[in-house]
């Protein structure tokens, strides 16, 4: 069970109560695309599909969004952010999320696109970056 004083799973270095928790509980909206990206990672980790739906552009959100219970999210690294600030209407965030499925360590490397929808940041879509073989 995650408490407000635990370090946030998004790896910002902040306590959960001062980082992603206000967004996941919808008391506040994420002020930047990166903050939204971090909170969405935490939503996946905590199995919060309602927040994922809330923070997804209605035009691209899948109808049958569900979270696979087989995986375990292990960490997030933000590699690059472009625009997506408080004055912007669009932005991108490149990240690597580490996770485990059936004991196998995996990485999700994506460049995600975000935009403002009714004034709030939402996830639009992303491009997966494939690891060179």
CA distance 37 to 16: 15
Report the alpha-carbon angle 110-86-23, nearest 5: 70
For 91-108, the pLDDT digits (tens) are: 999 999 999 988 899 999
pLDDT for the residue numbered 133:
54
What is the side-by-side strand order in the sheet with 71-83? 71-83, 90-101, 104-117, 120-128
Task: Tell whether 116 is covered by a domain.
Answer: yes
Task: Tell me which residue of 90, 100, 96, 78 sits closest to 125, measured CA to CA.
Answer: 90
Query: Which residues span the domain enclosing 112?
Result: 16-128
Q: Domain count of the chain?
A: 1
**Which CATH number do you get for residue 38?**
3.10.450.50
For 61-85, the pLDDT digits (tens) are: 999 888 877 779 999 999 999 999 9
Q: Which residue has the higher pLDDT, 1 or 25?
A: 25
């Amino acid at each position: 069970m995650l408490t407000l004083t635990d370090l946030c799973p998004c790896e910002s270095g902040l306590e959960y109560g001062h980082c992603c928790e206000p967004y996941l509980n919808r008391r506040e909206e994420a002020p930047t695309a990166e903050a939204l990206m971090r909170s969405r990672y935490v939503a996946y980790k905590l199995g919060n599909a309602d927040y994922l739906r809330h923070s997804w552009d209605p035009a691209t959100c899948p109808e049958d969004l569900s979270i696979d219970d087989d995986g375990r999210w292990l960490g997030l690294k933000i590699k690059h952010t472009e625009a997506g600030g408080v004055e912007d209407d669009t932005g991108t965030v490149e990240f690597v999320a580490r996770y485990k499925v059936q004991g196998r360590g995996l990485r999700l490397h994506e460049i995600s696109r975000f935009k403002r929808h009714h004034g709030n940041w939402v996830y639009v879509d992303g491009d997966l970056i494939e690891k060179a073989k």
